[in-house]
Amino acid sequence: MYLHDTRQTLVMKRWGLTNLARHPSQTVGLRLRVRTDADCASLADLWVASWREAMPDTDFPARRPWLLDHLRAIEAAGAITICALDGSNRLLGFVTFDPATAYLDQLAVAPEAKGTGAAKLLVAEARRLSPNGLVLDVNQDNARALAFYEREGFAKIAEGVNPRSGLKTWQLRWPATA
């Protein structure tokens, strides 16, 4: 077991998160589990492919190293990454959130998994495991993501600007009323 896996295991224990596999994911043929270091390459590939489709004008392959460094840093500080896999153990998506701060930092599903319910399942699991609700930032022109989150009961609470891209964002919160 790698050091990173140990950290994630400790975080999971701290929050009493030992029951991922018992989620209703079984009913749609998906499996959820906490990510390991062995997932890094496929997770980064998925993130690049998913975001490229959503924002074709942005150079996501160039941001691949940033993603992995970023995930390691926020996981070291307490965030959890949960992966959704199909019956062949193929990665379909992931969500990264911190139960202590309620911040949902990353959510992405593979292009072929969009519209299948995988993202809904990942957010349902994050909601279940985050006792203080969830807060996130989404680009205002990311219409699909915005529609998804609003359908899932998130509400706009503030406007902002993405410090890396300069694009306008919405801050969303679930539940809608704190």
Site for ligand COA, rule CB under 6 A: 50-51, 54, 107-109, 114-115, 119-120, 136, 138, 142-145, 147-148, 151
By C-beta, is 51 or 103 nearer to ligand COA?
51
CB of residue 5 to ligand COA, shortest distance in Å? 25
How far apart are the C-alpha atoms of 175 and 25, rounded to whole Å? 22
By C-beta, is 111 or 131 nearer to ligand COA?
111
DSSP state of 140: T
Structure tokens at 109: 């599903």
By C-beta, is 50 or 130 nearer to ligand COA?
50
CB of residue 29 to ligand COA, shortest distance in Å? 15
Question: Which DSSP string do the residues of 9-25 spell out, in sequence order?
Answer: HHHHHHTT---GGGSGG
Strand order of the sheet with strand 31-34? 31-34, 80-85, 91-98, 103-109, 134-139, 168-174, 155-161
CB of residue 72 to ligand COA, shortest distance in Å? 19
CB of residue 9 to ligand COA, shortest distance in Å? 26
Q: Which helix (H) or strand (E) holds 106?
A: strand 103-109
